[in-house]
Amino acid sequence: MTDSTDWRVTISLGSQENVEQARQSFSEQEVEQDVRDRLGRNIVVGAGDSQIFLYAGTEVAAREAERTAREVLGQLGIEAEFALERWHPIEEEWQSPDVAMPQTEAERQAEHQRLEAAETVESIDFGSARWQARAELPSHREAVALADKLQGEGYPVVRRWKFLIVGANDDDDARALAEHIRQEAPAGAEVIAEPAGVRLPFIPF
């Protein structure tokens, strides 16, 4: 029920005024499209009272997302602090990527197989999917469990931290899939059907 392929960029904004300015700026259509194009499909973005979070599946994707976010906020004149973190599956907390992961050879082989499977799933899913069902789970552990369950049913699932994305052919398929996920998901999960692409769960566009 753990996964060491979660990466997060935490963007800490200096003041509430900057938070509101960033939210308003990200909601503008031209910035939205730019962020979508440059971050790519497989980055999930969340936000808190004074922070913005970019969730990625690899270190490379996370660092590219950080670079893009720095440029976008820099153009807006918004100062921010950035931190790159990796989810530690043993400690179950976010830690610096410099912290060594205690792994046996068997664990390294299992991780490699998981990465290969995830990359294959994402290639198939987002190579053609135009719609998707997206779920936000109450916890990381519940997201991993639901992803495993859906994958066992044959669905190509992309998971980023507490978010799950499953591709669909069209709006009707996405709505039907979202309803199925709601029935499988634990209490407190939020599930919606939407066009495929980068989504900001807490920043309305």
Nearest-angstrom CA–CA distance, 5 and 131: 24
CA angle 45, 28, 137 (to 5 degrees): 25
Q: Tell me the angle at which helices 140-152 and 171-184 cross, rounded to the nearest 10 degrees.
A: 120
Query: Which among 115, 105, 62 is positioned nearest to 85, based on CA atoms?
Result: 62
Q: What is residue 204's predicted lDDT score, i.e. its pLDDT?
A: 28
Query: Which among 83, 12, 17 is positioned nearest to 52, based on CA atoms?
Result: 12
Write out pLDDT tens, residues 108-127: 566 556 655 554 555 455 55
The structure's pTM equals: 0.56
Q: What is residue 103's predicted lDDT score, i.e. its pLDDT?
A: 63
Write out pLDDT tens, residues 12-31: 987 777 767 776 665 553 44
Q: What is residue 196's predicted lDDT score, i.e. its pLDDT?
A: 73
* Arithmetic mean of pLDDT, 141-168: 90
Helix residue ranges, H only, 27-95: 29-39, 59-75
Tokens 């407190």 locate to: 188
With cut-offs at 50, 70 and 90, classify the pLDDT of residue 143: very high
Give the CA diameter of the chain.
Answer: 49
